[in-house]
Amino acid sequence: MPAAIQVCYAPADYERRPPAFWRGRAAVVFDILRATSTIVTALAAGCGGVRCFRAVAAARRYAARHARTALAGERDGVPPPAFQYGNSPREFLSWPPAYDTLALTTTNGTRAIAAAADGGAARVLIGSLLNLSALAEYCRRAGLPLTLVCSGTGADFSLEDALAAGALLAELRRAHPLVSLYRANRADLRRALHTSRNGRRLRAIGLAADLDFCLQRDRYHVVPALAVDGVIGI
């Protein structure tokens, strides 16, 4: 019988968990608006690796010490001062030849990735709608119990991450309340994302095009995973 699915719905669910919570499990992190969608897109475009940081200052220090590393990320949806890039996947449709790797820091997504990594998950995988089928394939082959990490919006639940987690579980044919949530919204996912809290915020700052980009299902057949050196690659 498959092991029970664990779901973290917001930062309070995934931060400060003991190692026993993560041990022997594959953590699939969703922050589809927009960190995990950006990671998937950048790596599919040719980025050599993504290193995630909780804090802006830590990302800056790393980039200052490592040549050919681009700084990307956001606070309140916009790039911090002196960052070359924000957190829009559309910025990485073509990987910039001046850089090899990406140092990324965001409000929620990189925080969730760090929590799973620091907790000792057996694997940390990057999930989005953009790579959903490839991710489901990987999870089937790996055969590990799953912990689905919905990064959230600020301190709160985010509808879009829960919908993506439900879509993955539907693809895996696993019974879970999130599957019902996904099926109730799948006929008009665009409306669900555009009217979500995070969707409304992105629209207000002129980034509605990011919502439609992140809605694309299976644009990429890649599964980014965190390596032992702390770099996400494919």
Q: Is residue 105 part of a domain?
A: yes
Has this prediction a pTM greater than 0.95?
yes
What digits encode the pLDDT tens for the residues 199-220? 999 999 999 999 999 999 999 9
> Across the chain, where does the E strand assignment appear?
6-8, 26-30, 50-53, 69-73, 101-105, 123-127, 146-150, 225-226, 232-233
Whether 45 shows a pLDDT value over 70: the answer reads yes
How many domains does the chain divide into? 1
DSSP3 helix / strand / coil % (the chain, rounded to 5): 45, 20, 40
| Mean pLDDT along residues 191-197 | 96
Task: Name the token pair of 36.
Answer: 């995990």
**Does 163 score more than 50 pLDDT?**
yes
The Cα–Cα gap between 234 and 226 comes to: 9
Residue range(s) defining the domain that contains residue 164: 6-233
Structure confidence at residue 1 as a pLDDT band (50, 70, 90): very low
pLDDT score recorded for residue 4: 85
1 within domain boundaries = no
Give the whole-angstrom CA distance, residue 157 versus residue 8. Answer: 9
Q: What is the pLDDT of residue 2?
A: 57
Is the pLDDT confidence value at 123 over 60?
yes
Per-residue model confidence (pLDDT) at position 3 = 73
Comparing CA positions, the residue from 95, 113, 116 lying closest to residue 104 is 113
Across 104-119, average pLDDT: 97
Contacts 24+ apart (CB under 8 A), 66-69: 66/101, 66/103, 68/98, 68/99, 68/100, 68/101, 69/99, 69/100, 69/101, 69/102, 69/103
- Within-domain flag for 129: yes
CATH code for position 172 = 3.90.1560.10
Q: What mean pLDDT is predicted for residues 85-89?
A: 98
